[in-house]
Amino acid sequence: MSIREMRRTPLRDILLSCLLASLASLGGIGSMSAQQPPGAQLATLCREAAAAGGTGALHAEVPEGVHFVVLADAYIDVHDAEVEVLNLLQWELGPDEEILNQMADSPLLLVVPDTGVQVYVQAKLLPAEEQGAVSVATHGLYSVANTTDEPIPVLSLQLAPKPSGPSVNQGNPTPVLAHEEDAGPAPVDLLYWEDVDGPGAGAVRGFVGCLVWDDPDAEVGPVQIEGTLGLRVLEGALKDSKLEGPLTPDSMWSCLPLEPGSVHNLSAGDAPPIVLVFGYLESGTVVWSQAAGSETSLNVLTDFFRCADGEG
Question: pLDDT tens, 55-76?
Answer: 678 999 999 999 999 999 999 9
pLDDT value at 210 more than 90: yes
Element (H, E) at 231: strand 228-235
pLDDT in tens, 277-294: 999 999 999 999 999 765
pLDDT score of 179: 43
Rounded to 5°, the CA angle 304-1-245 comes to 95
pLDDT confidence of residue 207: 96
The pLDDT of residue 73? 94
Between CA 4 and CA 127 the distance in angstroms is 46
Decide if pLDDT at 81 tops 70: yes
Centre a 10 Å sphere on the Cβ of residue 283 and count the other Cβ atoms it contains.
12
Neighbours of 287 (CB within 10 A): 26
Q: How many CB atoms lie within 10 A of CB 11?
A: 9
pLDDT at 170 over 60: no
Query: Measured between alpha carbons, how far is 37 from 228 in angstroms, rounded to an integer?
Result: 25
Cα Rg for the chain, rounded, in angstroms?
18
Amino acid, single-letter form, for residue 206? G
The per-residue pLDDT for range 176-208, each reduced to its tens digit, is: 444 444 445 567 888 999 988 888 778 999 999
Q: Mind giving me the DSSP string for 151-189?
A: -EEEEEEEEE-SS---EE-TT-PPPSS--SS---PPPEE
pLDDT at res. 304? 79
pLDDT digits 0-9 by tens, 95-123: 888 888 889 988 999 999 767 789 999 98
Angle (CA) 176 111 302, round 5°: 130
Task: Give the tens place of pLDDT for each residue, 242-275.
Answer: 788 899 998 778 999 998 999 999 999 999 999 9
Q: For residues 222 and 191, what is the distance between their CA atoms, to the nearest angstrom? A: 26
Residue 304's φ and ψ, nearest 5 degrees, are -80, 130
Q: Which pLDDT score is estimated for 211?
A: 97
- Cα 74 to its chain centre, rounded Å, is 14
Q: What is the pTM of this model?
A: 0.81
Higher pLDDT, 143 or 299: 143
What's the full length of the chain, in residues?
312
Coil, strand or helix at 47: helix
Res. 163 pLDDT band, cuts 50 70 90:
low
Q: How far apart are CA 197 and CA 193, in angstroms?
A: 13
Domain boundaries, the chain: 37-76+198-311
Between CA 81 and CA 185 the distance in angstroms is 27
Cα angle vertex 254, ends 248, 257, to 5°? 135
The answer to whether the beta carbons of residues 131 and 99 sit under 8 Å apart is no
- DSSP assigned state of 127: P
Q: Which CATH fold topology does 37-76+198-311 show?
A: Jelly Rolls (2.60.120)
pLDDT of residue 38: 62
> Measured between alpha carbons, how far is 205 from 281 in angstroms, rounded to an integer?
5
Task: Provide the 10 A C-beta neighbour count for residue 308.
Answer: 25
CA distances, 150 to each of 31, 113, 175, 203 (Å): 18, 12, 21, 35
The percent of residues above 70 in pLDDT, for the chain, comes to: 74
Q: How far apart are CA 17 and CA 86, in angstroms?
A: 16
Is the per-residue pLDDT at 31 higher than 50? no
Calculate mean pLDDT across residues 292-311.
Answer: 60
**258 within 8 A of 265, measured Cβ to Cβ:** no
Of 37-41, 87-91, 217-221, 244-248, the one with minimum mean pLDDT is: 37-41
Mean pLDDT of the chain: 79
